[in-house]
Amino acid sequence: MYCYIPEPSEPTDTIPPVLSTRFQPEATSFAQMTTIGVGGRAAEVIETDSEADFIAAISAADKAGKPLLVIGGGSNILAADSEFSGVVVRYTKSDITTLEEDSCGGARMRVAAGTPWDEVVVYAISHGWMGMEALSGIPGSAGAAPVQNIGAYGQEVAGVIAAVRTYDRETAAQRTLFLSDLELGYRNSLLKKSMTEGKWGPSPRWIVLSVDFHLRRATLSAPIRYRQLAAELQVEEGERVPAAQVRAAVLKLRRQKGMVLSADDRDTYSLGSFFTNPVLREEEAQKLPPEAPRYPLREEAAVNQIGGEAPIIPGWQKTSAAWLIAHAGYQAGYALPGPAAISTKHSLALTNRGGATAAQIMQLAEEIRAGVRNKYGVELVPEPVLVGFNH
């Protein structure tokens, strides 16, 4: 079979990325390092754009027995108000390299862990590669993407990851983890699971150095699989449209929900969705009210071709955390005038209205969890990494 192998393509359009972090220069506290803007001081903060220095800082912290927190954009970390006694390491190397591009095998790119995530999406779209367009506007860095298996609007990063190059803190050596190694699930991975294993938290055993992505060459998007996005695009679910149009629609929807960072919008001083959508056995899902949303649970890591549809996992369903929260009495804007309150735009985001403490954010989260538990018997699971809290 003959495959045409073109020269690496140049970007077809100039697409600006959106803000991915609020990390302040020479930051010393989590209030200066996270998108929600709360949290206490860190005993030591190291920032570097050198991979060798990044690994050296991690190794030194581990040898000294100090708690280690590797931070990217700070968009998924809620740190307590007390001082973090360990070392915070931030890797800022931003680099995207096209590894290969052909009409049969698709395109592969290698992305340094410190690269802002939205720049990765822009790179893919502007080069005519599909599979990331619905992940537009998500704050944070590329290194965090496989840890959380980030997803939005019917896409998950599991569908385009080929391999993750890591520093293994157990062996003090570099190790490449392939898609089959990563155990990617709904907002979960082998990396994330290791955070709760003995000495590793609050960072994983395997620290991401770079990520390889494998995408199909196509200017049209992957099939639209999210009802709200299809409605915004005025197409039927399953149709494909130009990827740039999907990006524009996703950014519009995210801005309407306060999910694109903006210095002028207090609703964006959050950690995005604070709770994951509950995954329930079918018999548990049937106990919810008939009007409660129910979605199939898909195994994204089982996709065996670029752009293929993930198979449904039988016996399981997802429901909407936002729906449960709102119908348990915690509507958008709950707890205003603040300083910690639910976003005025979306019931799934907990926000710092100005001057909030981490304790106040956590108190609001626990109130919501208790309310949903009491009304629906469902235990909401926080999505952010919790640092310095007993949980």
When pLDDT is averaged across residues 63-86 and rounded to a whole number, the result is 97
Whole-prediction pTM? 0.93
When pLDDT is averaged across residues 121-149 and rounded to a whole number, the result is 97
Res. 86: pLDDT tops 90: yes
When pLDDT is averaged across residues 114-118 and rounded to a whole number, the result is 98
pLDDT of residue 310: 75
pLDDT of residue 301: 65
pLDDT of residue 379: 98
Res. 369: pLDDT tops 80: yes
Res. 355: pLDDT tops 50: yes
When pLDDT is averaged across residues 258-273 and rounded to a whole number, the result is 97
Task: Point out the least confidently predicted range of 179-183, 196-200, 288-292, 378-382.
Answer: 196-200
Q: d(Cα 150, Cα 169) in Å, to the nearest integer?
A: 23
pLDDT of residue 106: 87
Which residues are the active-site residues? Answer: 187, 273, 383
φ and ψ at 370, to 5 degrees? -65, -40
Q: How confident is the model at residue 1 (pLDDT cuts 50, 70, 90)?
A: very low
Question: What average pLDDT does the structure give for the chain?
Answer: 93
When pLDDT is averaged across residues 311-334 and rounded to a whole number, the result is 95
Amino acid at 248: A
Res. 199: pLDDT tops 90: no
38-64 pLDDT per residue, tens? 999 999 999 999 999 999 999 999 999
Res. 304: pLDDT tops 70: no
More confident residue, 233 or 199: 233
Q: Rounded to the nearest 10 degrees, what angle do helices 243-256 and 117-126 cross at?
A: 150
Res. 303: pLDDT tops 70: no
Res. 65: pLDDT tops 50: yes
